[in-house]
A and B are shown apart, each in its own frame.
Chain A
């Protein structure tokens, strides 16, 4: 049982490049989330999903896109990367069952845009 797996762990992008951050969970959780965390700051919600085919914006969605075609996967797409998107990105998932209060986080992707 791997939990929430994020790839890659590290990435350097040039300004204007695009990339997809991968997130997969093997806990059959309905809810999935993408956050970013800037140095010395708390997490900010980018997008979330309440189930396959359903996504919605969080606090800071601009510059990002998501899709949720399966329960397991919730990729985050960065188009036209900008230095302001340099951050650590965390994916999380949550069940609607017994442990419904707990968001389980992946290990994070550290992204630098230069």
Chain B
């Protein structure tokens, strides 16, 4: 069973600070990693994906990947109240290229306090 683990939180961060969200995965052969944001009662939306070891930045968001440690993280700089949501880590476990069979973690609930 391929697993993705996240701390369910809640994680509380003051406005303007850096929020750090972490995720570990069990399948060492995984190649693609995704962060989805889900507001309460809404559907998930993709905010970042990463394939290569190291950092990938997009605006206030930075995804970090360490395949040797089987660890993915998401940093949110200058956190805003609108960032308050559940963040889902997902790992592509498909062997068919492009099929994107995602295994999700349980999500981390993030609250940004004004």
Shortest Cβ distance from residue A7 to the other chain B in the assembled complex, whole angstroms = 14
- Bin chain B's interface residue count: 20 to 34
- Given that A90-B44, A105-B45 are known contacts, is A42 also in contact with B96, CB under 8 Å in the complex? no
Query: Measured between C-beta atoms, what is the minimum distance from B27 to chain A in Å?
Result: 13
Pair A103/B102 contact, Cβ less than 8 Å: yes
Interface presence of A50 (CB below 8 A):
yes
Asked whether any CB of chain B lies closer than 8 Å to the CB of A2, the reply is no
Residue pairs across A and B with CB atoms within 8 Å: the count is: 54
A52 at the interface (CB under 8 A from B): no
Q: Which secondary structure characterizes the binding site on chain A?
A: loop
Bound-state Cα–Cα, A58 to B103, Å: 9
Which of B13-21, B58-66, B68-76, B104-112 participates in binding chain A? B104-112
Residue of B nearest to A96 (CB): B98
Instruction: Find out whether the CB atom of B99 lies under 8 angstroms from the CB atom of A48.
Output: yes
Interface size class of A (residues with CB under 8 A): 20 to 34
The residue that A101 contacts in the complex, of B8, B42, B49, with Cβ under 8 A, is B49
What separation, in Å, do the CA atoms of A33 and B36 have in the docked complex? 16
B100 within 8 Å of A by Cβ?
A: yes
A-side contacts of B103, CB under 8 Å? 45, 59
- List the A side residues contacting B43 at CB < 8 Å: 90, 105-108
- Would you list 18 pairs from A and B whose C-beta atoms are within 8 A, ordered by A residue? A31-B98, A41-B106, A42-B6, A42-B90, A42-B104, A43-B44, A43-B90, A43-B102, A45-B102, A50-B98, A90-B43, A90-B44, A94-B100, A100-B98, A101-B34, A105-B45, A107-B43, A108-B43
In the docked arrangement, what's the CA distance between A44 and B32, Å? 17
Chain A residues close to B by CB (< 8 Å): 31, 33, 40-45, 48, 50, 58-59, 90, 94, 96, 100-103, 105-108
B34 contacts which chain A residues (CB < 8 A)? 101
